[in-house]
Structure 1
Amino acid sequence: MKAHKMAELALLTALALIIFVVELQLPDLIPIPGVKLGLANIITVYAVYRYKAGEVVLIVTARIILAALFASRIMALLYSAAGAAMCLTGMLLIKKIIPYKYIWLSSVVGAVLHNTGQTIAAIAVLRSLAVIPYYPVLIISGCIAGSFTGICAQLLIKRKLPHSSN
């Protein structure tokens, strides 16, 4: 990997991490575990549409590991990894059919998949279906947050690609 590309990926990782740390300082919107804005995902959605799959995986993996360390939430690493794996898989696949002007929709799908992955991880870790009642709320909040982060990423891409026909 060339130094310029590595520097770009490192900057995106740092930016996502900064956004994550700032978001940690915000009060919870609603007192339900797992519900958050997920503003760092603006960078993820942007990266999905601007970089190769392997490069996006590097950004997200580094962000998840560093975020767990910075927030002292090592157990959250498992939930984040499960959510990110489903989210990235879905978004990388859907990217092939969703054009640039509908990136926000890809983000919504990613948010729903992320919440699904986290819920599956919680069921596996807790060995209980007690988290299932939270799932509909997570899906609704994921659609709202995913729309917002997707629109933000779409605006970033539009600024980065002013001559794009998509």
Structure 2
Amino acid sequence: MKPRRLTRIAMLTAIALTIFLVEAQIPAPLPVPGVKPGLANIVTVYAMFFLGPVDTLCILLCRIFLGSVLSGQPVTLFYSLGGGVSCYGVMLLFRKLVTQRQLWVCSVVGAMAHNTGQICVAIWITGTPSLICYLPILMASGIIAGVFTGLCAQFLSNRMAPIRCLR
């Protein structure tokens, strides 16, 4: 891996990890467990469109692993992996269908896939299929968070034109 590429991946991983850790310290906006904005996904959406799928996967997996270690909650690794890999897969498909001006659409669909993946992991870990009833609440919050993070990624992509030429 070239030093420039490695540096870019490390920088974006550090940014996403910092956002994740700061967000973990902020009280939840709703009194519903598991509902949070997912602001670190701004970096993931940006990377998917401007760095490519391989670099995005590196950033995502490093953030998930380091986030669970540094937050002191190793069980979150499973939930984050389930949601993150689901989101990554869907965004990988939608990346081909939307333009760079429609990042927010990819983010919304990714957020919905993330919530679905996390519910599947929760059902698998707890053995409680009735957790599926919680999915509509997560979907509604995921759509709102996905629009917000997608618009932020859109804004970031408009401001980061010099980074794109480093590809």
Is TM-score (shorter-chain normalized) higher than 0.5? yes
SS in 2 for 1:131: helix
CA-based RMSD of the aligned residues comes to: 1.2
Shift of 1:18: 0.5
| Residues paired across the two proteins, number | 163
What do the CA deviations read for 1:56-87 (whole angstroms, capped 9, x no partner)? 11000000000001111110100100111110
- Tell me the residue number matched to 1:114: 114
- Tell me the residue number matched to 2:98: 98
Q: Which runs of 4+ in 1 moved over 2 A?
A: none
Sequence identity (%): 44
Shift of 1:10: 0.1
Partner AA of 2:121 in structure 1: A
Q: Could you tell me how far apart the structure 1 residues matched to 2:51 and 2:98 are?
A: 16
Question: Superposed, which structure 2 residues align to 1:6-45 within 5 Å?
Answer: 6-45=6-45
**Long gaps (5+) in structure 1:** none
Question: Is the CA contact 1:32–1:134 (under 8 Å) kept in the aligned structure 2?
Answer: no
Question: Is the CA contact 1:17–1:66 (under 8 Å) kept in the aligned structure 2?
Answer: yes
Question: Is the CA contact 1:42–1:152 (under 8 Å) kept in the aligned structure 2?
Answer: yes
Q: Could you tell me how far apart the structure 2 residues matched to 1:13 and 1:161 are?
A: 19
* 2:153 aligned with 1:149: no
Partner AA of 1:125 in structure 2: I
Question: Superposed, which structure 2 residues align to 1:41-60 within 5 Å?
Answer: 41-60=41-60
Q: Could you tell me how far apart the structure 2 residues matched to 1:52 and 1:8 are?
A: 12
- Tell me the residue number matched to 1:80: 80
Q: TM-score, normalised by structure 2?
A: 0.94
Q: Could you tell me how far apart the structure 2 residues matched to 1:99 and 1:82 are?
A: 26
Shift of 1:160: 1.8
**Long gaps (5+) in structure 2:** none
Question: Is the CA contact 1:9–1:55 (under 8 Å) kept in the aligned structure 2?
Answer: yes
Q: TM-score, normalised by structure 1?
A: 0.95
Partner AA of 1:27 in structure 2: P
Partner AA of 2:89 in structure 1: T
